[in-house]
């Protein structure tokens, strides 16, 4: 049951990302369509999607390990927070990169 719920959540998330990719294409006028435009929008989406996936996995792992470490030794709290900031910075870099790709259009 738990796997089915996880699969359903991932399917909904994938559908949301697909719809989010289609919206910028409809905002452009028909003469703006080209293979380069489509690849740029796809590239921006892939950058955000893969970075988001990696950051999510990293934060899940780091959160579990960090909670255990802080429970055993509370003095490592600042180190755990610093590691979380480093992982979150990857998501911010990906967002910035995708905006840079889309601004070149």
Tokens matching residue 40: 């740029």
> Structurally, how many domains does the chain consist of?
1
Q: Kindly report the backbone phi and psi dihedral angles of residue 45, in degrees, each rounded to the nearest multiple of 5, phi listed first.
A: -65, -40
Cα(48)–Cα(102) distance, rounded to whole angstroms? 12
Q: What is the pTM of this model?
A: 0.64
Cα(84)–Cα(103) distance, rounded to whole angstroms? 29
Cα(91)–Cα(102) distance, rounded to whole angstroms? 17
What's CA 65's distance to the chain center, in Å? 21
Could you list the residue range(s) of the whole structural domain that residue 76 is in?
2-103
pLDDT confidence tier of residue 21, bands split at 50, 70 and 90: low
Instruction: Specify the pLDDT at position 8.
Output: 78
The domain that holds 65 is classified in CATH as: 1.20.120.610
Tens digit of each residue's pLDDT (9 = 90 or more) over 35-76: 888 888 888 888 888 998 899 999 999 999 999 999 999 999
């Amino acid at each position: 049951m738990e796997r089915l719920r996880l699969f359903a959540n991932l399917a909904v998330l994938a559908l949301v990302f697909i719809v989010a990719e289609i919206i910028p294409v409809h905002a452009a006028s028909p003469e703006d369509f080209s293979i380069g435009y489509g690849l740029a929008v796809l590239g921006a989406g892939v950058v955000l999607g893969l970075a988001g996936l990696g950051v999510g996995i990293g934060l899940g792992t780091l959160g579990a390990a960090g909670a255990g470490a802080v429970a055993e030794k509370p003095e490592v709290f600042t180190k755990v927070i610093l590691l979380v900031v480093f992982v979150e910075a990857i998501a911010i870099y990906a967002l910035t990169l995708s905006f840079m790709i889309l601004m070149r259009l």
